[in-house]
């Protein structure tokens, strides 16, 4: 609780705040950042929200920016008196904005990743929170901020996605969601626009990628490993959102406790962004072996090599990774 009070005190006295999410921000990073940003702006602070890459927010998340707070990295001030980093376990995950942590007067870190390195000057870091939005909710409550529909929309977007549709939400988080609905969040619209709705091009992309998926039942300490590869040619036909959605299909395979999607980096074809999901092995430990991180059941990292080399590397680390 003390960390929530410290964070609220820091935010209450701030006149100018930059809020950053991680690179390739998801609904939790952007929803949390924009909800916090709106609340601070309503208190009279100058607020901007940014992230290191890509240049524009995912199309499915732009409607969360009710106040036009999203700011391109090139338009940020030289340094900040207060920098808030949301849903970002390490400065490295800020991408090109990582250097701002050193330059800022104070750095508030609000995050729920197990791999958070506590790189700020004030921390609301709680691995047991299902989403960073849960922590932002508590900070806003401490601040006495009024929940309105745009704030509730952003927080609900973060919670509903990070809990996979409330499958991993505590009773307390369900109670929080009740308050968000009462404040005007529209769950049907939020889930449709962020999770369910896809362009038609999604279907042929999925078909090509899933048709080449591989199952290795003996891998991952006999618990099973399934993976799919998204080469740049397949990714080029769709938005980033559709590429990110592949893991949600692959992870549903019953014969595998661990699922991975290898996404080829368009700028560096021998580099692969790896999404990992698991029901039986701590994949944050697996990702950490490759310089990445995340949660025990959902993590990511970048690995260089051919597909065969990357898969062999993952398979080897999975053989000795801690079980859940
Ligand atoms: Mn999150």
Q: Are 258 and 225 in contact (CB under 8 A)?
A: yes
Residue 294 C-alpha to ligand 1 middle, in angstroms?
A: 9
Q: Write down the pLDDT at residue 145.
A: 97
pLDDT at 1: 80
- Give 308 Cα–ligand 1 centroid separation in angstroms: 30
Domains assigned to the chain: 2-196 (3.90.1640.10), 202-318 (3.10.310.30)
pLDDT at 158: 98
Residue 216, CB-side half-sphere exposure with 13 Å CA sphere: 17
pTM over 0.95: no
186 Cβ neighbours under 8 A, 6+ residues apart: 153
User: How far away, in angstroms, is 310 Cα from ligand 1 center?
Assistant: 26
The predicted pLDDT at position 192 comes to: 97
- pLDDT tens digits, the chain, 324 residues: what are they? 899 999 999 999 999 999 999 999 999 999 999 999 999 999 999 999 999 999 999 999 999 999 999 999 999 999 899 999 999 999 999 999 999 999 999 999 999 998 999 999 999 999 999 999 999 999 999 999 999 999 999 999 999 999 999 999 999 999 999 999 999 999 999 999 999 999 999 999 999 999 999 999 999 999 999 999 999 999 999 999 999 999 999 999 999 999 999 999 999 999 999 999 999 999 999 999 999 999 999 999 999 999 999 999 999 999 999 999
Question: What pLDDT is recorded for position 8?
Answer: 98
* Residue 279, φ and ψ in degrees, nearest 5: -115, -5
Q: How far is the CA of 133 from the centre of ligand 1 (A)?
A: 7
Q: With contact defined as beta carbons under 8 Å apart, do 86 and 32 qualify?
A: yes
Task: Dig out the tokens for 234 from the structure.
Answer: 């397949």
Indicate the pairing of strand 106-111 with strand 122-125: parallel
**In 3D, which of 215, 126, 209, 221 has the Cα closest to residue 173?**
126
Which residues partner with 281 through β-bridges?
323
């Amino acid at each position: 609780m003390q960390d929530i009070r410290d964070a609220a005190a820091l935010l209450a006295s701030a006149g100018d705040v930059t809020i950053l999410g991680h690179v390739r921000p998801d609904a939790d990073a952007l929803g949390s950042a924009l909800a916090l940003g709106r609340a601070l702006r309503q208190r009279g602070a100058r607020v901007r929200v940014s992230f290191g890459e890509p240049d524009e927010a995912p199309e499915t998340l732009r409607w969360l920016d009710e106040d036009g707070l999203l700011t391109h990295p090139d338009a940020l001030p030289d340094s900040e008196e207060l920098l808030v980093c949301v849903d970002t376990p390490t400065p490295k995950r800020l991408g090109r904005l990582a250097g701002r942590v050193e330059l800022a007067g104070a750095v508030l870190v609000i995050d729920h990743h197990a791999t958070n390195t506590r790189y700020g000057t004030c921390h609301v870091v709680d691995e047991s929170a299902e989403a960073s939005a849960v922590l932002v909710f508590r900070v806003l409550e401490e601040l006495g901020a009024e929940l309105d529909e745009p704030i509730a929309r952003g927080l609900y977007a973060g919670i509903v996605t990070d809990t996979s549709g409330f499958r991993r939400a505590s009773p307390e988080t369900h109670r929080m969601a009740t308050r968000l609905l009462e404040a005007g969040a529209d769950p049907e619209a939020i889930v449709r626009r962020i999770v369910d709705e896809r362009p038609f091009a999604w279907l042929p992309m999925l078909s090509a990628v899933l048709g080449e998926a591989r199952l290795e039942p003996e891998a991952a300490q006999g618990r099973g490993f399934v993976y799919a590869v998204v080469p740049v040619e397949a990714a080029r036909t769709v938005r980033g959102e559709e590429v990110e959605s592949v893991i949600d299909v692959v992870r549903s395979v019953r014969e595998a406790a661990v699922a991975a999607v290898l996404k080829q980096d368009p700028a560096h074809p021998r580099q692969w962004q790896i999404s990992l999901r698991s029901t039986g092995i701590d994949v944050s430990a697996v990702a950490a072996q490759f310089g990445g991180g995340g949660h025990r059941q959902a993590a990511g990292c970048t690995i260089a090599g051919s597909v065969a080399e990357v898969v062999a590397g993952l398979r080897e680390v999975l053989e000795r990774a801690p079980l859940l």
